[in-house]
Structure 1
Amino acid sequence: MVRLPLSPVDLERGRRLGAVLRSARGTRSMLEVALEAGVSPETLRKVETGRIATPSFPTVAALAGVLGLSLDTVWAEVCAQPERSAVGAALAP
């Protein structure tokens, strides 16, 4: 099976997902959140930095659950226009 390259839209969506999760993690350690969600700290780091732009649904659901986020909230933030997103506003220079 050949995997097609990700589009710029997919990559941007992945960066926004990472920002949402990183913001929700707050001061909690990456290790603590990753272990509680059942993912490796390396996976969490890659998702938060956008290196894994399209993580699996179970990974996103587990992280959202541990961070107290509804999937609706995550999806709304990820799909929002950067200037309209709360996370986007927080990251703007």
Structure 2
Amino acid sequence: MRYYFDIFDGDHWARDDMGVDCANDRGARHQAVLAITELARELLPHDGPEKELAIRVRLKEEVAFSVRLVFETSSGPALTDVSVLS
């Protein structure tokens, strides 16, 4: 089956018009998880507190499922007091 992987980079959706052949939903889920981890390597903020990434997996126009990653950081002494790093 041909699956399409639309990507949300935190601001915009990019529609996949090419797709990838996968044997079933399980194979497509595996591909989506691999893809979102690659996106995280590229797009997670180095100096920001949060980012949301998502992949919407479609069969033609029907959404089969989605994979979502939410990255958040919170304030703590290591971010505000440099003596903690010593």
Scaled by the length of structure 1, the TM-score of the pair is 0.27
Structure with greater helix percent = 1
Query: TM-score, normalised on structure 2?
Result: 0.29
> Which protein is bigger by CA-based radius of gyration?
2
Higher RCO (C-alpha under 8 Å, 6+ residues apart): 1
Q: Which structure is higher in strand share? A: 2
